């Protein structure tokens, strides 16, 4: 498989066809899936057989949609940038990322800043890229213009976000925001972060964990569920770490709140009990909690109470992780894992009895629905974009510096052995990654979202 080349006919003994995995041939035309045929039904004219790319028994599923990625460009491009982030995504079977509005400078909180963002991403994306906007105090008049320009939705914080240029909102800001979003079809992402102060040893992980107790995440989620119910605007809880909030979420949904929830690979993979002192590469906010909590998160994924799993890829330069002092309170709170999501998830999920179908629901279909991309991405269906990941669910690899494509390679997963090896990634019919190599040119495009409920005609930027 030559990176950069176009696939017209793709054959495998294991293709996800509806609810089954079976031998099939995927026909691709103009970047879209034309049809998926049983192997025996394929008839080719003379001279066409060389067009068939046969991947043997490698499994083919839809490309992953990671809708929680901090690319940080422009402004903090030393932390991560579009070129490296989207190469890492491609190497991990991710065919679409949605970039968060904060940690770049400027943050994506105005139409003008969105234009800066799009310009910064121009010509650098190896996979398709969409953009979240941000809500900060006083920018409510920017929200509808940004919706028209095609942002997926908006993110806000209830406490300090971690960067000064993206201040958190108050209750009254939330009301104004939801008034603005009402009837637009757009979605508000809320980060349920709150924190306590602590005087104990800052190099012990347990001190950091106690400063961000479950009860605070609960309080924040209670606020969100009430507002979601009242305004009937889609709300989405990002990076849920505490299983204690699940009851509240279920209640709100039963009462009619259009509420969705994500958790991240790190809450499903890492445990507070196993984090050594001073190991600040494990720091993220909200914090990684205990094993019992983690089991409840897995149960909620199985039942559908948690809708999706994302990376919340949030890297920084090594100095900001303060590994020299090991102070959890001083270190940047963010974990890098964009490239590893498929394998992190599958390593544990396959042991817990999750199927490939569950995986596609949690990593592809539900994120596509959240982002209003489900009419073109997230499933192997005729008419959908030919975004594919070709991988071996039984093969294993060890995470090493040398095989990580993130700009900064520090990650708590170094040295871990993971199951699920990505061989190739296809975006709209073109091979963007194959066994360690990328297409010579970035082939991703910018995605601008048209909200299905929006009445006014949507405009979009040329990309």
In the complex, the residues that contact Zn ion under the rule CB under 5 A are 312
CB 162 to Zn ion: min, Å: 9
- Residue 99 or residue 128: which is nearer to Zn ion going by CB? 99
- Residue 157 or residue 448: which is nearer to Zn ion going by CB? 157
Residues 6 or more apart in contact with residue 402 via CB below 8 angstroms: none
Residues 6 or more apart in contact with residue 231 via CB below 8 angstroms: 178, 179, 181, 182
Q: What's the DSSP call for residue 313?
A: B
CB 29 to Zn ion: min, Å: 37
Cβ-closest position to Zn ion: 312
CB 463 to Zn ion: min, Å: 24
Residues 6 or more apart in contact with residue 59 via CB below 8 angstroms: 12, 14, 15, 16, 21, 356, 390, 391, 392, 393
CB atoms within 10 A of CB 144: 16
d(CA 188, CA 205): 31
d(CA 381, CA 340): 25
- Residue 61 or residue 64: which is nearer to Zn ion going by CB? 64
- Residue 157 or residue 345: which is nearer to Zn ion going by CB? 157
Question: Are 335 and 268 contacting, i.e. CB atoms less than 8 angstroms apart?
Answer: no
Residue 140 region, left (φ>0) first, then alpha (ψ -120 to 50), else beta? alpha
CB 159 to Zn ion: min, Å: 14
CB 69 to Zn ion: min, Å: 8
- Residue 335 or residue 362: which is nearer to Zn ion going by CB? 335
CB 134 to Zn ion: min, Å: 11
- Residue 282 or residue 354: which is nearer to Zn ion going by CB? 282
Bond into 286 cis (ω within 30): yes
d(CA 322, CA 325): 6
- Residue 155 or residue 428: which is nearer to Zn ion going by CB? 155
- Residue 151's φ and ψ, nearest 5 degrees, are -65, 155
CB 312 to Zn ion: min, Å: 4
């Amino acid at each position: 498989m030559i990176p950069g080349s176009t696939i017209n006919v793709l054959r495998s003994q294991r293709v996800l066809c509806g609810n089954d995995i079976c031998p099939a041939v995927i026909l691709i035309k103009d970047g879209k899936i034309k049809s998926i045929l049983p192997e025996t039904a394929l008839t080719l004219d003379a001279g066409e057989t060389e067009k068939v790319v046969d991947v043997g028994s490698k499994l083919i599923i839809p490309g992953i949609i990671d809708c929680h990625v901090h690319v940080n460009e422009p402004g903090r491009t030393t932390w991560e940038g579009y070129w490296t982030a989207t190469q890492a995504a491609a190497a991990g079977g991710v065919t679409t990322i949605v970039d968060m509005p904060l940690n770049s400078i400027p943050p994506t909180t105005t139409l003008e800043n969105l234009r800066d963002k799009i310009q910064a991403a121009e010509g650098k994306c190896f996979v398709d890229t969409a953009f979240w906007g941000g809500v900060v105090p006083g920018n409510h008049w920017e929200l509808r213009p940004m919706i028209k320009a095609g942002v997926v939705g908006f993110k806000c914080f209830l406490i300090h976000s971690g960067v000064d240029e993206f201040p958190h909102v108050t209750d009254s800001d939330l009301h104004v925001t939801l008034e603005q979003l009402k009837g637009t079809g757009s979605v508000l992402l809320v980060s349920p972060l709150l924190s306590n102060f602590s005087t104990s040893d800052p190099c012990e992980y347990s001190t950091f964990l106690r400063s961000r107790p479950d009860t605070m995440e609960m309080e924040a989620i209670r606020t969100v569920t009430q507002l979601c119910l009242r305004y009937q605007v889609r709300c989405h809880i990002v990076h849920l770490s505490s299983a204690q909030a699940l009851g509240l979420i279920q209640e709100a949904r039963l009462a009619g709140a259009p509420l969705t929830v994500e958790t991240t690979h790190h809450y499903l993979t890492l445990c507070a009990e196993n984090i050594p002192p001073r190991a600040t590469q494990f720091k993220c906010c909200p914090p990684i909690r205990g094993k019992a909590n983690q089991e409840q998160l897995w149960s909620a994924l199985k039942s559908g109470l948690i809708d999706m799993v994302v990376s919340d890829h949030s890297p920084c330069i090594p100095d900001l992780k303060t590994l020299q002092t090991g102070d959890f309170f001083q270190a940047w709170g963010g974990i890098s894992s964009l490239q590893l999501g498929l394998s992190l998830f599958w390593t544990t999920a396959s042991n817990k009895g999750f199927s490939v179908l569950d995986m596609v629901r949690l990593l592809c279909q539900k994120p596509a629905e959240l982002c209003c991309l489900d009419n073109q991405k997230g499933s192997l269906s005729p008419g959908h974009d030919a975004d594919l990941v070709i991988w071996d669910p039984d093969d294993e690899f060890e995470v090493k510096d040398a095989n990580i494509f993130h700009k900064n390679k520090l990650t708590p997963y170094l040295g871990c052995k993971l199951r699920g090896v990505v061989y190739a990634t296809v975006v709209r019919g073109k091979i963007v990654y194959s066994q360690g190599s990328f297409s010579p040119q970035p082939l991703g495009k910018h995605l601008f979202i048209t909200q299905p409920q929006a009445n006014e005609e949507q405009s979009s930027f040329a990309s």
